[in-house]
Chain A
Amino acid sequence: MATAKLALEDGTVFTGVALGAANCVEGEVCFNTSMTGYQEILTDPSYRGQIVTMTYPQIGNYGVNMEDLESQCPHLSGFVVREMSRVVSNFRAGGALNDYLQQHGVVALAGIDTRALVRHIRSKGALRGVLSSTELDDTALVQKAQASPGLVGRDLVREVVSPSDRAWAEGLSRWSDLAEHAQLASPARRPRVVALDFGMKWNIARHLYQQGCDVTIVPGTTATTESVLDHQPDGVFLSNGPGDPEPLAYAIQTIRGLLGRVPIFGICLGHQLLGLACGARTFKLKFGHRGANQPVLNLETGRVEITAQNHGFAVSDDGLPDSLEVTHRNLNDNTIAGLRHRSLPAFSVQYHPESSSGPHDSHYLFASFTAQFSA
């Protein structure tokens, strides 16, 4: 079996078995605590620039299928697991995970003490790293990790966004709900939603479509206030996406222009961008929130939603403008998990209500969004 290594900027090196494609890649090393949903995680564009470690040790058991994709292909830099299943057991499986990784050129590492790696990241914070199955010299790898750019200040969105506008016309998978979905209602006029794509997960679009919306996805990198308003949208959605929100001045400017002119709903990076557009600040979390068990308190209902999250940056309480009110908080560390503009129709959440992968507790937010559309 071929060897692969994960070298961290602090000099730590983990040696294990090489899986997936043969290559040498850089990225910020992070971990995700979801026990299911590796396929959704792999195809989530928000992982651009990251080497993702799965804390659950047995990955690949149910293979991969064509229904559970969150984008065209994996976007992350590398993938680390304790053990990769060599067989696939699921009635929906269309192939094996390792084959999928190979096809898409994802370098993967297996067999290392992933818990030790996670504890290391927990105490040191997210670290830059290099995952390699080609170059195996420890010193060279560590140097490479130290020389790598990291996430802060980088615009990773440009690397994942599809260049042109497209219409979305796919609803939720039949596995997303207990009952069979009723045939989609075809209302006289479907409210029009423009989704600003910063690396959007497909399930968000599926949810919007399922809500009866006519969904147009436009690249967040090139969209301007005017180009968005040209679509005469009933609402504008701000998608999730990779990395640091601060360098995305173009997006912030666009959103600022849209505020007050059309209802806005943002998720994850979209939430951070909305915050920035309203004058809030963002900061980098020590090692982020990545998993499907993050408790969020809805401050209006007093109830808790178990949420899926994937973010390394967050909106700061310090300097939060008066125009914004906090609607949700993460119960683990009390960071802001949801915001709403006090006077304008705009709200956002840091977590992933489209929950793919993850629990469905926060689906209601899509209905809250469409409820804001003027009839």
Chain B
Amino acid sequence: MLGSSDFSHIGSSPATGLTTRCLIPVPRREDIHKILLIGSGPIIIGQACEFDYSGTQACKALREEGYEVVLVNSNPATIMTDPSTADRTYIEPLAWEIVAKVIERERPDAILPTLGGQTGLNLAMDLDHHGILKKFNVLMIGANPEAIAKAEERDKFKTAMEKIGLECCRGRTVRTLEDAREAMSEVGLPCVVRPSFTLGGSGSAIAYNREEFDVLARRGLDQSPISEILVEESVLGWKEYEMEVMRDLDDNVVIICSIENFDPMGIHTGDSITVAPAQTLTDKEYQRMRDASIAVIREIGVETGGSNIQFAIEPQTGRMIVIEMNPRVSRSSALASKATGFPIAKIAAKLAVGYRLHELPNDITRKTRACFEPTIDYVVTKIPRFAFEKFPEADSTLTTQMKSVGETMAIGRTFKESFQKALRGLEVGAFGFGCDPKDLWETDLQPSNGEIAAKISRPSAERVWYLRYALKAGFSISEIYDRTAIDPWFLDQLSQIVEMENELRARETLDRVDAEQMRAAKRMGFADRQLGHIFRTGELDVRRYRKQMGIQVTFKSVDTCAAEFEAHTPYFYSTYEDEDEVPDKVPGRRRIIILGGGPNRIGQGIEFDYCCCHASYALRELGIESIMVNSNPETVSTDYDTSDLLFFEPLTIEDVLNICDRVQPDGVIVQFGGQTPLNLARALWNAGVPIIGTSVDTIEAAEDREKFRVMLEQLGLHQPANGIARNMSEARTVATEVGFPALVRPSFVLGGRAMEICYDQSQFDRFVTEAFVVAEGQPVLIDRFLEDATEVDVDAIADGTRVVVAGIMEHIEEAGVHSGDSACAIPSFSLPTAVEEEIRNATVALARALQVVGLMNVQFAVKRESETFKVYVLEVNPRASRTVPFVAKATGLPIAKVAAKIMAGQTLQELGIHSQPIPMRVSVKESVFPFRKFAGVDIVLGPEMRSTGEVMGVSDRFSIAFAKSQLAAGVVLPSSKQPSGKIFVSVSKRHKHQIVTFCRRLHTMGYNLLATEGTARVLEEAQIPVHRVKKLAEGNPNLLDHLIDGDISLIVNTPSGKGARTDEGRIRAAAVQHGVPCITTIAAAEAAVSAMEALEQEDMTVEALQDRFVEGAVSYYAPTEDRTTAVS
């Protein structure tokens, strides 16, 4: 309910007698009824689940107001694409041509472009440029195209800033290298090169010399969709701030949150450690920045909603510069929402339809209005999470181009506490600022002063650890400041943590730490695990010891108002204070905790957050109090109204046990948040935490290769020859038994980290060594690798007695490509019925044997051996898998919700779920990769997962569904309508015999084929015309020249040897940088050719999810036994 109706008191005061505008509440807009929202598409670097969070909030907010919401997003792993979130949901590629079809079909009155990230904004601008909005009379609300252009186009922005008396960096935009050089000489070196209209600052970097400048300028011109770069003065090392601003139609403007970056200018804010609120500004300076923010949003003309404005301040003089403005909700606004409790996206949506800020209630206090500026009584720290281990060839220096894949946020009463909590929430093996297993200090690997000095001078993911080493080594604050430009206030805070550590160490044993010091340490955010490390004892011993002394955690509310008003939204963080604010358990009402997935990383992201949210929805439907624990500010799960109680906490044993102590849950769900909660399951269970669903023993049994092998044998199922090794010599023995090619991987690791296929002994030795490092004491698994097998993923739900298969996904890429990286389809497109039946039976048998309660995922490989097919079980995971949301969207069965209800005690029968749904439409899931952010990285797919996100394409036919999935993933397949496109084919020896058919089809469609010598010979022998091109080493013109000239429209290149340094690696990397689709497997090439053929005959059509699962659109698998019964 909105407050507008009860707003009469303002004017009703008899004493005022004023007839004022506020007496007549401006109602919500009545001239629009149907609103189109555009999502942000797949998760990529710079655009993650924060836009699911904001889009979902917006959908809810608009529907609450009675508007019909049409949503377009290509990402199936989102809450916003759940059929119940919007009225009309289109999981379709985010290309303007496709969205135009949605508009034609739905005829929305308005489009709200400011909630779908840069993608949504760009797409809305495309629709405007192409006249679609005008043609169908669609109004752009929130921000109009002029305002967007003014904010996004550098020159316009700069002019606007000058007009209001604000300084920008000196510099200008240019479109040629020559002009760029001239601009550079104006601003001097070092200078920043920034391509226009790219995501997450993609392509921007700092040039320190002329040579670097030329390279960066060329690359920038190429990456910018409009071939434009900005060359500007460097403000490297300045203090960096962000302001989150909101404005309504009456020009009321409020600041929601200020953010101060721990890392100074020069490091993308997405890659910086950031802190809310600002810490080192006086009120005079803060208010000046506030004035500037208000002036900016007014001048740019964002009519309603939220914007993010970035400032740089010269530390010695206070000179303030406006860096940029995002005229939309952003990653930072999601952070600001979570940091303050103020729901920016929700309010932005309401403002867009005409409400004014003071007509909207503050949900948290209920009594006050949304028109105020949140004030907080804690400190928030956000730390980015990186994935450089997945891209060893990439430059890991942090620059103005964003490279992180996720983030964690922590709340504490002091910066020290929130900083240490955030470090342990990062889940990189650290439990705070040192004193943990990752700590190199006083080990053989302790860095020298020279190394420390070098490491802190170069911004990187690791720098934070070296700041501590610098303090431990006695570097002075000013010395560290000179090398890092990190504000001395922050450095002093870090120094206080190290001083506390040193004081603790001086006590030598835990029993010499008294209550006062223990409390002081806990208040600085020290984890029990860190104290255990210092005193060489277990974390649970520390826990017991401190609890005996009465040192216990307290939970405080996030309430937008620093306790000035009573808070009704139960959003909590832990700290060590006197008073606890968590409500007591309601007698008779069950409480169940869901453990979330922590920061996004490759292999564990939005899919798991989707599952956690669904678990919470399911519990609430059952009348159970749902409690979410997570540390990821980007997510829907950390929205304050997703669950009954939200604990914004790191996912560690200590933090979870603390919550359990306080809330006394009736159950804890560990199977939805990916590997993060699973890794805690054993310890939690041993500590007496009531884990519900599949038992911890089962979870471990599925991971225990020996137990697993015995079980498969008992069930009569096959697996590839395999073995387990605890050291190198064991590994070599296993290798001789298993044979080559062999698949090597560490156990208990998600996302295929350090997983490799070895074709010979030398590769094997290298990869096994690496796997042991990653395994951190756990064994390494070695399997025979099945070449050219088809991989099949199965998700199933079981309630302990019954099992229902939810989806059988046939992979497009062959086994060996990580399941998270390959494309797959529901229903399967080539598996014989008998094979599917065998897979189904095996799944049921496995679920029964493991006594699964909840979700289970099984990976199979199907290998054709002469005329028969043999089914192998590769892996069983008794937990929610990455494919759960895709299966739900493809089949219409909300399996995560069903599974949560089962864990809470319901049965499949009670829930009316009897059989596998088989949808009429074909859904194809495709993966999306961050290669464009990591120049020079080889893009070949392998057993180590490297994709960040996924998209889905749906159609009646597999080929069109595949084509849609490609378009959604940003891969624009060539079309014969532009016949100039040439297709380059170069495959490894192993694949030469497989290319003839699809190359002939390409030739038939009219494409010119290019190939290097070996491949060309194969095609010539098959009578297919082909142009030979030189290999890179053979001189010019070679393929790279063709790529640069832009006359290649598709590359098919399968790898023979992996590596960026090889010729083929360079070709693939170049293809990425030039935006040319590059297919690296034969299977995907065949699917692509089929898609291209299909597109010759028919166009892509769009269909709402709500129309897809109408009566009769899904059939159900009927078991053979039943059929026999029926016949007899």
Which residues, 297 to 356 on A, are CB-close (under 8 Å) to B?
297, 299-304, 306, 317, 320, 322, 324-327, 329, 331-332, 334, 355-356
Choose among A112, A118, A178, A331 the residue that contacts B164 (Cβ–Cβ < 8 A).
Answer: A178
Question: Chain B 153-188 against A: per-residue CB contact (8 Å), 1 yes, 0 no?
Answer: 000000000001110000000000000000000000
Stretch from A135-143, A169-177, A365-373 forming part of the interface with B? A169-177
Q: Assess A302 versus B22: contact at CB under 8 Å? Given A33-B561, A115-B579.
A: yes
Per the bound structure, the CA–CA distance linking A66 and B262 in Å amounts to 27
**B9: contacting residue among A65, A113, A119, A334, CB under 8 A:** A334
Q: Are B371 and A175 in contact (CB under 8 A)?
A: no
B371 near A299 with CB under 8 A, answer no
When the two chains form the complex, which single residue of A65, A87, A291, A325 contacts B15, counting CB atoms closer than 8 Å? A325
Known: A33-B562, A325-B15. A295 touches B371 (CB 8 A): yes
CB–CB B13/A178 < 8 A: no
* Cβ of B25 to closest chain A Cβ, rounded Å: 10
Interface size on B, residues (CB 8 A): 72
In the bound complex, do residue B283 and residue A91 qualify as a contact, i.e. CB atoms below 8 Å apart? no
A86 within 8 A of B: yes
Q: Does A162 contact B (CB under 8 A)?
A: no
A61 at the interface (CB under 8 A from B): yes
B297-320 with Cβ < 8 A to chain A: 315-318
In the complex, the answer to whether A34 meets B284 with C-beta atoms within 8 Å is no
Closest-CB distance, B648 to chain A (whole angstroms): 16
Residues from chain A with Cβ under 8 Å of B280 in the complex: 61-62, 89-90
Query: In the assembled complex, which residues on chain A have CB atoms less than 8 Å from the CB atom of B16?
Result: 299, 325-326
CB contacts (< 8 Å) of A317 on chain B: these are 13, 15
Stretch binding the partner chain, chosen from B486-494, B536-544, B1036-1044: B486-494
Q: A57-B377, A293-B373, A304-B252 are in contact. Are A86 and B282 (CB under 8 A)?
A: no
Complex contacts, B316 vs chain A, CB 8 Å: 91
Contact residue among B295, B318, B376, B415 (Cβ-Cβ distance under 8 Å from A35): B376
Task: Give the distance in Å from the alpha carbon of A114 to the alpha carbon of B282 in the complex.
Answer: 22
- Interface flag for B209 (CB, 8 Å): no
Please tell me the number of chain A residues within 8 Å of chain B, measured between CB atoms.
Answer: 71
User: Given A116-B578, A302-B250, A291 and B21 touching (CB < 8 A)?
Assistant: no
| A115 engages B489 (CB within 8 Å) | no
Closest to B368 in A: A332
Q: Does B469 contact A (CB under 8 A)?
A: no
Q: Is B677 an interface residue (CB 8 A)?
A: no
Q: Is the beta-carbon distance between B282 and A39 smaller than 8 angstroms?
A: yes
Give the docked Cα–Cα distance between A87 and B288 (Å): 24
B413, CB-defined interface residue at 8 Å: yes
- Measured CB to CB, the nearest residue on chain B to A123 is B566
Chain B contact surface mostly? loop
Set of chain A residues within 8 Å of B748, measured between Cβ atoms: none
Given A295-B371, A306-B373, the answer on whether A89 and B488 have CB atoms closer than 8 Å is: yes
Considering only CB atoms, which chain B residue lies closest to A118 in the complex?
Answer: B563
- Report if B352 contacts A (CB, 8 A): no
Q: Please tell me if A122 contacts chain B, counting CB pairs below 8 Å.
A: yes
The residue in B11, B166, B278, B375 that gathers the most chain A C-beta atoms within 10 A of its C-beta is B375
- A36 contacts across to B, CB distance below 8 A: 278, 281-283, 286
Tell me, yes or no, whether A56 is within 8 Å of chain B by CB.
Answer: yes
* A302/B492 contact (C-beta < 8 A), A39-B282, A317-B15 known: no
- Which of these, B18, B318, B368, contacts A91 with CB under 8 Å? B318
The answer to whether B563 touches A57, judged by C-beta atoms less than 8 angstroms apart, is no
Q: Does any Cβ of A come within 8 Å of B414's Cβ? A: yes
Q: List the A side residues contacting B368 at CB < 8 Å.
A: 295, 331-332
Whether the Cβ atoms of B285 and A175 lie closer than 8 Å is yes
What's the Cα separation between A45 and B282 when bound, in Å? 20
- 0/1 interface trace, chain B 232-259, chain A, CB 8 Å (1 if under): 0000000000000000001110100000
Contact flags B10-27 to A (C-beta < 8 A → 1, else 0): 110101111011100000
Task: Please state if A360 and B10 are interface contacts (CB–CB under 8 Å).
Answer: no
> Does the CB pair B250–A303 fall under 8 Å?
yes
Looking at the complex, which one of B252, B283, B374, B379 makes contact with A357 (CB distance below 8 Å)?
B283
Other-chain residue from B9, B15, B489 in contact with A89 (beta carbon distance below 8 A): B489
How far is A317 from B286 in the complex, measured between Cα atoms in Å? 35
**CB of B825 within 8 A of chain A?**
no
Cβ contacts B356-391/A at 8 Å (1 or 0 each): 011000000001110111111111000000000000
Assuming A68-B284, A91-B317, is B20 touching A300 (CB within 8 A)?
yes
Contacting pair B375 A56 (CB below 8 A): yes
Is A2 an interface residue, CB under 8 A from the partner?
A: no
- Whether a CB of chain A sits under 8 angstroms from the CB of B564 is yes
A-B pairs with beta carbons under 8 Å apart, 11 shown? A33-B561, A36-B282, A82-B377, A90-B280, A115-B579, A175-B288, A299-B16, A304-B357, A329-B10, A331-B371, A356-B284
15 further A-B pairs in the complex, CB-CB below 8 A; given A115-B563, A118-B563, A293-B374: A40-B283, A62-B282, A68-B284, A91-B317, A118-B562, A119-B581, A122-B565, A291-B375, A291-B564, A292-B373, A293-B372, A294-B372, A304-B252, A304-B371, A331-B371
Give chain A's interface residues, CB within 8 Å of chain B: 31, 33-37, 39-40, 55-58, 61-62, 65, 67-68, 82-83, 85-92, 112-116, 118-119, 122, 173, 175-179, 291-295, 297, 299-304, 306, 317, 320, 322, 324-327, 329, 331-332, 334, 355-360
